């Protein structure tokens, strides 16, 4: 059977339930803790910050399948199913016996997979009768995705955008504004925590952790608003499982059995979503795969962080999460381009990594952009810097196959496009891109600030 | 039968031949003339500027179907078939009984339909053993598409980019560079004609007509290079017929009969490609459709130009073409955003318009951006300003249906995405966008410069 360049499942094959990998995990991810009492957060406590239905999903370690509401499926139909692409041209360019596939999530205006969870979170906010939601965004994909989702359901969207991105990525900001969102550079003077950080660090260009604090504060101090988050949380990985479920369905359509599954990892939303159904098979003893999480050498939470409870935000107002972390004060060096800059990692991914279900590796950004350029030139798609971390490792694995003569099947997640990352590409094109790898001392100093739990 | 949100034909249903509407036209488009002798350009004369095979296609008024080489079909498979989307959400937002469909050509890194012809032209250049090709680009879609195509076939790509775009759209430039293209702001000091224009109009920000002259000069004065063009020419409309053929196949799959087909029109490549198979049916007396070309009020070649022979470029070194034109010296006002800024119109489209096969209308850009924003918010896709001209008229026609209660089927071409047009969107978001409509005197003055043929 000839495998087409793009494997599409049918519109009526779009998953009708999300898959909750926690149900199959023997070691469940550790619960979120109340930062004051250090006791597990209750649904009631979480309900002050998050939408009620999303809290239920956040705390659900038992149900393997959670139905996707029709309204969300309808929205999915506008840009899903996304294609599983056979990288024929990349294979040829690498002269490898390996078969390479990528699940491409970039064919929507948000430019990434983030829309899968954004639309779900906006839906539950709308259903709860809320006026709107608040959030933070770094590179901008999440903010864009949420703006689109809120515009679709007609609710307010308030985005705190890390100041350096707000200034360097005015076009992302304009996309959000086109969808009707209110975008504020963070740290701002609109929140208590923003004013405090601005006073403490005058001229700071912001961080994700700080923007999170501002968004949370705004949600809890304004009637009818809740906070939503684009990664890290278990609910987000749940929504993102649509990626993995579609990937599995597409592979099965052509009887393809992957050997290696690769995803980039920042907070873990794309990786967790892509691998969930495959990890589930491993956990249930039904199948085996090598699963590789790829993170930037400049923000290596899995490969060089510690698996402990930490703050999720700079302002330390969010619940504590047990995760692989570099410490909540850790900020990647300014030469780090693109996303994947969060100091911690999703509790689910952290636990799967700790249990040896998945591997992790880190790569340098000049190598990542080299892989991105190679990929763009043969496969046509200009990838996001984030996604290119997975490309880099997929190429490496394919080249190992060339050496060994093995015909492995490699699947990776191409989470998005790089159309709003041209400043970074320009640096690379001009030969001015540099690498940064934190020293052990830097990481240790940052980790020393973690709470003692 | 429920019609899905996105109608895809199968990969093996991608057309294997382009459709040449000229074969079915009783009144053929007028031939290109040698600017010196005023006699029809011969294949030999054209061969100095264009690739041999493309010259054959340019002069072919007889063969209705021209096979697409396998290598081009393989490339098409990387981003085609493109979806024909049922605009369910837009229909609902407009509360119209009309059914609206759009053929979406933006799901590729060039962001538009231009890639369909770029890959064909790069292929023939490679096959002819050329070192590379030269071209011009305005808004940047064509240059990006050609860069991708040349990178795929491993030939040089030299792009003269209208200076104002080069400066206002650095990111487009960087995409081209990422694909290995050489990008020069036009007018440059690298060509005779560029130096002349710079001397005559110091500080000029350039025009498409001027960039064309520079690209042609560079092609004819460098061994192993030819010039390629992204619109206007009959060969380009031929390649773009893949849009119309796929659209027809998708409609037939669900037994949908369109009443109105709408496309934006600059040089005519998208419009001509989309409508060719439908115009062919009209010409053969098999079917009837309303076909509407939509152009900007600030560059209204069909609706306010004259159907005469004119220069194709500012430098007056290209063949003369008979077309609806505003005069080769016509440059849209600086407040005009996006593409659709060429002074003339494809000979094929011009002849079809003159013969009453298609209609034309013009729209103001603030109305266009309003339609773009509405579309983006309900359909999710942020459209290119060019494509939004078609959206505007599709919405108008759908609202007429609402008034009359008619359930018409409207199909329009969504040629591309607006991700690199955020400067224009920002102007619109800030309420600073203005309109410009040239006076009759301005157009008459520009037309007075046309050659007497």
3-state secondary structure of B157: strand
| Residue B208 or residue B298, greater confidence | B298
Q: In angstroms, what CA-CA distances link B139 with A341, B415, B416?
A: 33, 13, 12
Residues whose CB is less than 8 angstroms from the CB of residue B196 and which lie 6 or more positions away in sequence, other chains included: B315
Q: Which of B309, B328, B124, B318 is nearest to B214 (CA)?
A: B318
Q: How far is B431 from chain A (nearest CA, A)?
A: 12
First to last CA, chain A: 56
Contact A78 B178 (CB under 8 A): no
- For residue A77, the chain B residues in CB contact (below 8 A) are 4-6
pLDDT tens series, chain A, 453 aa: 799 999 999 999 999 999 999 999 999 999 999 999 999 999 999 999 999 999 999 999 999 999 999 999 999 999 999 999 999 999 999 999 999 999 999 999 999 999 999 999 999 999 999 999 999 998 899 999 999 999 999 999 999 999 988 988 889 999 999 999 999 999 999 999 999 999 999 998 888 888 999 999 999 999 999 999 999 999 999 999 999 999 999 999 999 999 999 999 999 999 999 999 999 999 999 999 999 999 999 999 999 999 999 999 888 888 999 999 999 989 888 888 878 889 999 999 999 999 999 999 999 999 999 999 999 999 999 999 999 999 999 999 999 999 999 999 999 999 999 999 999 999 999 999 999 999 999 999 999 999 998
Cα–Cα distance for residue pair A401/A294, rounded to 1 Å: 19
Nearest to A148 among B380, B422, B423 (CB): B380
User: What residues form DSSP beta bridges with A260?
Assistant: A290, A410
Pairing of strands A290-296, A306-311: unpaired
Q: Which of A9, A5, A11, A82 is nearest to B14 (CA)?
A: A5
- For residue A179, the chain B residues in CB contact (below 8 A) are 376-377
Residue B181 dihedral angles phi and psi, to the nearest 5° = -80, 155
Contact B422 A79 (CB under 8 A): no
Cα–Cα distance for residue pair B414/B390, rounded to 1 Å: 7
- For residue B75, the chain A residues in CB contact (below 8 A) are 380
Residue A8 dihedral angles phi and psi, to the nearest 5° = -110, 130
Q: Name the maximum alpha-carbon separation found in chain A.
A: 65
Q: What is the pLDDT of residue B339?
A: 84
User: What residues form DSSP beta bridges with A157?
Assistant: A133
Structure tokens at A62: 């038992």
- For residue A107, the chain B residues in CB contact (below 8 A) are 107
- For residue A11, the chain B residues in CB contact (below 8 A) are 4-6
A430: alpha, beta or left? (left if phi > 0; alpha if psi -120 to 50): alpha
Preferred mutation among A140, A156, A171 to probe B, highest tally of B CBs within 10 A: A171
**Percent helix, strand and coil across chain A, each to the nearest 5:** 45, 20, 40
Contact B426 A170 (CB under 8 A): yes
Domain boundary assignment for chain B: 6-13+79-111+241-447, 17-67+112-227
Q: Which of B293, B343, B353, B297 is nearest to B321 (CA)?
A: B343
- For residue A89, the chain B residues in CB contact (below 8 A) are 78, 152
| pLDDT above 70: percentage of residues in chain B | 100
Q: Which of A254, A256, A259 is nearest to A1 (CA)?
A: A254
- Whether B152 contacts chain A with CB within 8 A: yes
**DSSP structural state of residue A144:** H
Question: How many CB pairs (< 8 A) connect A and B?
Answer: 117
Please name the residues between 18 and 77 in chain A that touch chain B, using a CB distance below 8 Å: 75, 77
Residues whose CB is less than 8 angstroms from the CB of residue A276 and which lie 6 or more positions away in sequence, other chains included: A19, A20, A21, A237, A240, A241, A244, A245
Nearest to B78 among A5, A377, A425 (CB): A5
Nearest to A425 among B11, B178, B425 (CB): B178
Structure tokens at B52: 């041999």
Nearest to A419 among B12, B419, B426 (CB): B419
Nearest to B382 among A178, A381, A422 (CB): A178
Report CA Rg, chain B. 20
- ipTM for the complex shown: 0.94
Note whether B427 and B370 are within 8 A (CB). Answer: no
Q: Which of B174, B140, B177 is nearest to B157 (CA)?
A: B177
Q: What is the pLDDT of residue A164?
A: 86
Do B6-13+79-111+241-447 and B17-67+112-227 come out as alike in CATH topology? yes
Q: What is the pLDDT of residue A313?
A: 86
Q: How far is A156 from chain B (nearest CA, A)?
A: 13
Residues whose CB is less than 8 angstroms from the CB of residue A145 and which lie 6 or more positions away in sequence, other chains included: A110, A112, A114, A115, A117, A118, A119, A230
- For residue A426, the chain B residues in CB contact (below 8 A) are 170, 174, 177
Cα–Cα distance for residue pair B332/B343, rounded to 1 Å: 8
Nearest to B377 among A6, A180, A422 (CB): A180
**Residue B44 neighbours by CB distance under 10 Å:** 9
- Whether A148 contacts chain B with CB within 8 A: yes
- For residue B376, the chain A residues in CB contact (below 8 A) are 109, 178-179
Return the H-helix or E-strand segment holding A74.
Answer: helix A70-79
Cis peptide before A358 (omega within 30 of 0): no
Name the pLDDT band for B337 (thresholds 50, 70, 90): confident
- Whether B107 contacts chain A with CB within 8 A: yes
Please name the residues between 400 and 419 in chain A that touch chain B, using a CB distance below 8 Å: 417, 419
At the second CATH level, the architecture of B6-13+79-111+241-447 is 3-Layer(aba) Sandwich (3.40)
Cα–Cα distance for residue pair A298/B151, rounded to 1 Å: 31
Burial code (b: 16+ CB inside 10 Å, e: under 16) for B273-302 equals bbbbbbbbebbeeeeebebbbbbbbbbbbb
Burial code (b: 16+ CB inside 10 Å, e: under 16) for A170-202 equals ebbbbbbbbbbbebbbbbbeebebbeebbeeee
- Whether A422 contacts chain B with CB within 8 A: yes
Contact B180 A420 (CB under 8 A): no
Structure tokens at A104: 């491409």
- Whether A378 contacts chain B with CB within 8 A: yes
Cα–Cα distance for residue pair A15/A273, rounded to 1 Å: 13
Closest residue of chain B to A111, computed from CA coordinates: B419
B338: pLDDT strictly greater than 80? no
Q: How far is A406 from chain B (nearest CA, A)?
A: 26
Contact A426 B175 (CB under 8 A): no
**What is the residue-averaged pLDDT of chain A?**
96
pLDDT-wise least confident of B186-195, B197-206, B389-398: B197-206
Contact A107 B107 (CB under 8 A): yes
Q: What is the pLDDT of residue B358?
A: 98
- For residue A180, the chain B residues in CB contact (below 8 A) are 377
Q: What is the pLDDT of residue A395?
A: 98
- Whether A11 contacts chain B with CB within 8 A: yes
Q: What is the pLDDT of residue B23?
A: 98
B209: pLDDT strictly greater than 90? no
Mean pLDDT of all residues in B313-335: 89
Q: What is the pLDDT of residue A357?
A: 98
Fold topology of A17-67+112-227 = Rossmann fold (3.40.50)
Helix and strand totals (H; E) in chain B: 18, 15
- Whether B151 contacts chain A with CB within 8 A: yes
Report CA Rg, chain A. 20
Q: What is the pLDDT of residue A314?
A: 80
Contact B425 A373 (CB under 8 A): no
Q: Which of A36, A57, A5 is nearest to A316 (CA)?
A: A36
- For residue B111, the chain A residues in CB contact (below 8 A) are 419
- For residue B380, the chain A residues in CB contact (below 8 A) are 75, 78-79, 108-109, 148, 152
Pairing of strands A306-311, A320-325: antiparallel
Contact B171 A419 (CB under 8 A): yes
Preferred mutation among A250, A419, A423, A433 to probe B, highest tally of B CBs within 10 A: A419
- Whether A174 contacts chain B with CB within 8 A: yes
**DSSP structural state of residue A14:** S
Residue B41 dihedral angles phi and psi, to the nearest 5° = -65, 135
Cα–Cα distance for residue pair B338/B363, rounded to 1 Å: 14
Closest residue of chain B to A370, computed from CA coordinates: B178
- Whether A170 contacts chain B with CB within 8 A: yes
Pairing of strands B225-227, B359-363: unpaired
């Amino acid at each position: 059977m000839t495998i087409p360049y793009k494997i599409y499942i049918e519109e009526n094959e779009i998953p009708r339930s999300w898959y909750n990998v926690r149900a199959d995990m023997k070691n469940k991810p550790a619960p979120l803790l109340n930062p004051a009492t250090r006791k597990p957060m209750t649904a009631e406590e979480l309900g002050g910050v998050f939408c009620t239905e999303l809290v239920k999903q956040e705390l659900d370690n038992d149900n393997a399948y959670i139905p996707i509401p029709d309204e969300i499926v309808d929205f999915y139909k506008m840009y899903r199913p996304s294609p599983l692409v056979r990288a024929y041209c990349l294979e040829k360019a690498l002269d490898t016996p390996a078969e390479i596939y990528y699940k491409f999530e970039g064919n929507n205006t948000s430019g990434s997979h983030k829309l899968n969870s954004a639309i779900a979170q906006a839906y539950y906010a709308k259903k709860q009768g809320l006026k709107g939601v608040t959030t933070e965004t770094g590179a901008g994909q999440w903010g864009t995705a949420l703006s689109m989702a809120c515009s679709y359901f007609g609710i307010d969207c308030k985005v705190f955008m890390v100041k350096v991105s707000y200034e360097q990525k005015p076009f992302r900001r304009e996309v959000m504004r086109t969808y009707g969102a209110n975008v504020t550079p963070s740290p701002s003077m609109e929140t208590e925590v923003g004013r405090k950080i601005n006073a403490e660090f005058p001229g700071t260009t912001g961080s994700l952790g700080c923007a999170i604090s501002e968004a949370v504060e705004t949600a809890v101090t304004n009637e009818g608003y809740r906070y939503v988050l684009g990664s890290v949380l278990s609910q987000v990985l749940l929504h993102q499982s649509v990626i993995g479920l579609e990937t599995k369905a597409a592979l099965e359509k052509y009887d393809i059995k992957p050997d290696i599954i690769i995803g980039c990892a920042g907070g873990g939303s794309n990786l967790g979503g892509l691998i969930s159904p495959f990890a589930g098979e491993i956990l249930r003893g039904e199948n085996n795969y090598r699963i590789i999480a790829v993170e930037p050498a400049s923000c290596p939470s899995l490969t060089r962080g510690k698996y402990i409870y930490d703050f999720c935000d700079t302002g330390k107002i969010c619940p504590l999460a047990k995760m692989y972390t570099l410490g909540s004060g850790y900020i990647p060096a300014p030469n780090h381009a693109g996303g994947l800059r969060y100091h911690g990692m999703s509790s689910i991914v952290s636990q799967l990594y700790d249990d040896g279900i998945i591997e992790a590796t880190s790569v340098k950004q000049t190598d990542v952009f080299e892989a991105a350029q190679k990929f763009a030139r043969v496969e046509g798609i200009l990838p996001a810097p984030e996604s290119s971390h997975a490309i880099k490792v997929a190429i490496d694995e394919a080249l190992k196959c060339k050496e060994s003569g093995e015909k492995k099947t490699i699947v990776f997640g191409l989470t998005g496009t790089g159309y709003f990352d041209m400043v970074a590409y320009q640096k690379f094109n001009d030969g001015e891109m540099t690498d940064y790898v934190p020293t052990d001392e830097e990481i240790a100093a940052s980790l020393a600030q973690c709470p003692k739990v």
